[in-house]
Chain A
Amino acid sequence: MFLALWYYFRGYVMIKVNGFAAERFMNMLSYRGVYLWDVGTDGAGVKIKVPLGSMDIVSMCAEKTGCRLEIRGYGGLPGKLRRFQGRQVLTAGILLFAIGLYFLSSFIWVIRVEGNERVAATDILSYCQELGLKPAVWKRGVNPEEITKEILIQFPDISWVSVGIKGTDVTIKIAETIEKTEVVDKETPCDVVAAMDGVILKITAERGTPQVKAGDVVKKGDVLISSQVLIGLEGEEQHTEYVAAEGTVTAKVWQRLSGELPLTYDEKVYTGETKANQILSFWGKDADFIRPSLEDKDADVEIIFQKDLALGDYKVPISLKKEQYNIYTLEKKSRTVEEAKAELAETLREKTKQSLSQYGTIEKIDVHYEEYTDCVLAKGQAELIERIEEKQKAEKGRDAIDGTDGENDTNG
């Protein structure tokens, strides 16, 4: 079996022997150390496979035994390779392929980050780019140890880094430090001020001195809870301390609303007819040679497919794009005054709802409409209940930290 495989690589000849002394011929060959295999009868003769290099002995033996020798064909790998002889372009192609493969494999094409949870992979990748580790960079020029060191210095949240180059891929494995709990700053003095104008409904101060009470009208920027706290009983000696004021302040606020809706309008009616357009982009510029004819019809463009060509992670500035034109016709439509009013009321309410914070609620919405021949104008006011507190660093904060009393304080 292995001999047959060996002679497949070395090449063999398929011969046919005719004559009365075929057996003698075979004996003579095997006696002379020629390996014969796949012997079979073929009509009156015998067909045999013999190694390529032993043809001299074979023809000599055939002559001696008086057998008629006939070469039926050549087999094995050399025979197969002989078919490619004289095909220079093919040889050059194979060579170029091998060189190209070697050349391309000496660059880095893909960079992966593993193990990150809090640190964004894009941050690490962009920092690596600064260090010279980016797609399409020569592999020999990358120093993993130095990048490891630099990443550890740059990102304090990373405790361990390993940069491994495997083939054309770089894998940056990282381990993050244990997350620090968020510290609420209770040290730096700050005031709670109004974020918008309104009427106070309720004020709850956790720290600091409330400056307003329910029913008070406040303007944006007014101090609601002051950072100054008077320490000491009344009548005795008192002194001021500064704290980080905190608390919630609920107020009634008003918001102006306005809207306009024409009575006649154009509506896009899609005909269902679509046209596709393929675009090849180079460096962001579209080379759109074949553009479908729209025959002066109106159409919306919708990008249904976009593919940026890339070698690994290295972006080649060529992209394929497929657009679809959805053809529509404009139809004139009209609505009644009542419909317009209802629609306006709905859109205004929607708009107000979106401007609310998570604690806010709509108390009521007053709208009055002005009717014109071609449109309806809506003007109104929304009454909202909102939390209006906002922290602002107290101007006197530094004095307090410095240890001086804020007695020349002019804060109102």
Chain B
Amino acid sequence: MDLRRDVSEALDLPKEITLDLPLISLTGREEITVENHKGILTYGEESIRIGTKAGTLCIRGQGLGLKQLTGEMLVIRGRLIALEFLT
């Protein structure tokens, strides 16, 4: 595993592909796109937990909602307050 990391760091390869890490993009504080997710753990208007290779990502906010959900990416809309990796 560490060898993979070393190689991709040495060759400057995109880690979301080589290490299957999530790629998280924020648009202001109203939209968050998570690529390479591993599924939704809990779903609610105040908090959504998403499983990723880097750990559980907890998104807190107000009036959150899933805009899109496919196997590779998800888009969450709402007023974002915090992003936290729990483990």
Contacts and interface: CB of A to CB of B under 8 A. Distances in A.
A39 B67 contact: yes
B40 A26 contact: yes
B84 interface: no
A37 B69 contact: yes
B71 A33 contact: yes
Nearest to A38: B67
B41 A26 contact: no
Nearest to B68: A37
B42 A30 contact: no
Contact of B43 (A31, A32, A33, A41): A41
Interface string B51-71: 000000000000001111111
A35 B40 contact: no
Nearest to A39: B66
A29 B45 CA distance: 21
A27 interface: yes
A142 to B, nearest CB: 56
Nearest to A23: B40
Nearest to B73: A30
A36 B42 contact: no
Interface residues of A, number: 19
Interface string A11-34: 000000000001100110111110
B44 interface: yes
B69 to A, nearest CB: 4
A216 to B, nearest CB: 109
Given A23-B39, A27-B39, A37 B71 contact: no
Contacts of A32: 71
Contacts of B74: 30
A367 interface: no
A41 B69 contact: no
B51 to A, nearest CB: 9
A46 interface: yes
Contacts of A35: 68-70
A207 B30 CA distance: 101
Contact of A41 (B39, B45, B70): B45
A184 interface: no
A78 interface: no
Interface residues on B, range: 10 to 19
A3 interface: yes
B70 to A, nearest CB: 6
A37 B70 CA distance: 9
Given A36-B66, A41-B65, A23 B43 contact: yes
B69 A31 contact: no
Contacts of B43: 22-23, 26, 39, 41, 46
A259 interface: no
B44 A30 contact: no
A34 to B, nearest CB: 8
Contacts of A3: 68
B81 to A, nearest CB: 17
B70 A30 contact: yes
Given A41-B43, A41-B44, A30 B65 contact: no
Contacts of A31: 39, 71
A40 interface: yes
A4 B68 CA distance: 9
Contacts of A37: 66-69
B32 to A, nearest CB: 14
Contacts of A30: 39, 69-71, 74
A118 B44 CA distance: 82
Contact of A39 (B39, B41, B42, B69): B69
Given A30-B71, A33-B71, A35-B70, A40 B65 contact: yes
A35 B65 CA distance: 15
Contacts of B65: 38-41
Contacts of A46: 43
Nearest to B75: A37
Interface of A: 3-4, 22-23, 26-27, 29-33, 35-41, 46
6 contacts: A23-B43, A33-B71, A36-B66, A37-B66, A37-B67, A38-B66
Interface of B: 39-45, 65-71, 74
Nearest 8 Cβ contacts at the A-B interface: A39-B66, A27-B39, A36-B69, A23-B40, A40-B65, A37-B68, A30-B71, A23-B43
